[in-house]
Amino acid sequence: MVLGEVAALGTATCWAFGTILFTRSARRTGAFTLNLARITLALCILSLILCLTRGTSWAPRAEGHNIVFLALSGICGLTLGDWAYFRAFIYIGPRLTTLFMTLAPVFSAIIALPLLGEHLALGALAGMALTLVGVIWVVLDRRNASVPQGHRIRGTVLAILGSLGQAVGLNLSKLGMGTVVDPLPATAIRMAAGAAGIWILALASQRAGGVSRLVRDPVARWATIGATLLGPVTGIWLSLVAVRHTQTGIAATLMATTPILILPLLVFVEKEQVSARAIMGTILSVIGVALLFLH
């Protein structure tokens, strides 16, 4: 495998482990507080790494349009998209939420039509259909009936919005990086914009105080720190390495294996019972993503 493919698989692995930790923290402190804390922490870590390795010149060849696209990517993918995902964790849990992540490549391909001038062949359309069938098949599993209907509806809508935000962010980040911005500073620029966006929302809604409650909660605090190192620091950096060094579709396909990788974690760590239907539906969705991009 080449660097891009390895980075994409590393991204999926980081997101699988990070999802477990983020879910624990979100259920204790709320999705908004979690997103506020982890974006701020991630920005501090990335800034420190860049200052130690590159000084103050992070992206010397970047022009205005590169910064704008990366900033918009951060707001769409991190401020809005990840907040929606974290809210979905609370309502429908990590298994179903990560399953909806397989819709992100579908949305990404559709958005890339006008944005990047890409096209969809018949095999890609078949892949989209297969992904949707897999998601619907799992969502309609009777084992999910234990989740109140209102929570299922809210969680589903939020997870879909999260996938849409990720898809927009992925396309914008590819435009923003181009050939002049390396993945690590691009990650920091995205994180800075995401942090600015969520802090504006926090101050406007007077919810910034939630961070102090998170810090005082030892379980939420350590879960957030661990998940931040895995997700918005290592995971997002690896995702941009993948996008930079391989085709967007291949990267998106390999990153979409997170729902499969998370299943054994839920069984052995969270002691959750996962039905054969859930496993088959998840695999079906990921196969659909592969068909979408690798036909």
Q: Residues 11-43: pLDDT tens digits?
A: 989 988 998 998 889 889 988 999 899 999 999
Distance separating alpha carbons of residues 199 and 280, to the nearest angstrom = 40
| pTM to 2 decimal places | 0.82
Minimum mean pLDDT among 136-145, 146-155, 187-196: which range?
136-145
Measuring CA to CA, which residue among 71, 258, 230 is closest to residue 159? 258
Q: In the structure encoding, which two tokens stand for residue 95, read together?
A: 């298994």
The average pLDDT across 165-182 equals 88
Where helices occur in 30-116 by DSSP H, the ranges are: 31-54, 64-74, 83-100, 103-115
Report the C-alpha gap between 36 and 269 in whole angstroms. Answer: 26
Q: Which two tokens stand for residue 191?
A: 């994180």
Give residue 76's pLDDT band: very low, low, confident or very high (50, 70, 90): very high
In the chain, what percentage of residues exceed pLDDT 70? Answer: 94
pLDDT of residue 3 exceeding 90: no
Per-residue pLDDT averaged across 75-93, rounded? 90
Give yes or no for a contact between 252 and 291, defined as CB atoms under 8 angstroms apart: no
Give per-residue burial for 195-208: e unless 16+ CB within 10 Å, then b: bbbbeebbeeeeeb
Q: Does position 121 have pLDDT exceeding 80, yes or no? A: no
Residue of 169, 177, 173 lying closest to 61 (CA atoms): 177
The better pLDDT of the pair 123, 280 is held by 280
Q: Are 292 and 109 in contact (CB under 8 A)?
A: yes
pLDDT > 90 fraction of the chain, expressed in percent and rounded: 26
The mean pLDDT value for 234-250 works out to 80
Q: Is the pLDDT of residue 294 over 70?
A: no
What token pair was written down for 35?
């997103």
| Domain residue spans of the chain | 3-294
Q: Model confidence at 295, in pLDDT bands (50, 70, 90)?
A: low
Query: Looking at per-residue confidence, does 10 or 240 come out higher?
Result: 10
The neighbour count for residue 53, using CB atoms within 10 Å, is: 10
Residue with tokens 């927009």: 168
Mean pLDDT of the chain: 85
Tokens 């979905």 belong to residue:
88
Average pLDDT over residues 236-246: 81
- The set of residues, in sequence order, having a beta carbon less than 8 Å from that of 151 and lying 6+ positions away, is 91, 92
Quick one: pLDDT at residue 226?
A: 93
